Structure 1
Amino acid sequence: MSDIIDYYSNYDEWGRLDREPLEFRVNWHFIKNSLPPTGIVLDNGAGPGKYSMELAKLGYDVTLTDLTPRLVDIAKAVSLVWFINFRTFSCGMREIYSARQLSRNNGI
């Protein structure tokens, strides 16, 4: 597990999505068109939060999780600059056994 965390800690995932915008555009199209107009979203494995931030801007109640603390820190920093509000957690699936547990732990 630490190899994965080390890899993504040194990888520019946000920049990759900017450099290869087709992936983001296609994924965003299907994400946006598959969700109801409002709701609660768990973006598990969210990386730096590019999709989470777009969802939060549309009014979704978003919780972002990722195993890589550095990517979660990037998401937190960018969300402060853009005045976007969502919950963030740095954790592996060992810490979160279900979305219901995550909700109970955070008063949702």
Structure 2
Amino acid sequence: MRFSRVDVHEDKEKNLVTATFELPGLTKENVNIDVQNNVLTVSGESKFESNSDDNGYVLRERRFGRFSRSVPVPEGIQPEEIKASLENGVLTVTYPRQTAEQLPKRVTIS
């Protein structure tokens, strides 16, 4: 199983995490995004579409096959809070840095 490259950025002011995955040549039909036990997992498969065999290749660096990459998400995150888009081989996934239950709450003195 191969792994895709990922960058994860936290914006504390906007309470937003952005995870950007390199998935060259893939379409959204080849990619799965799952959340379980506070872990977001991006997985799928890139396929080599050629009728020829390995004969004749002088150099072959492109990788094909299954991939998976996981990043932690805040406890209590809801699936509808996760947004994803795939454009030009880059998958961008955003979700809250903290859930509403985790955000600090101010107590008013009566």
TM-score w.r.t. the length of structure 2 is 0.21
Q: Kindly name which structure, 1 or 2, has the bigger radius of gyration based on alpha carbons.
A: 2
TM-score w.r.t. the length of structure 1 is 0.21
Larger fraction in strand:
2
Higher relative contact order structure (alpha carbons within 8 Å, sequence separation ≥ 6): 2
Larger fraction in helix:
1
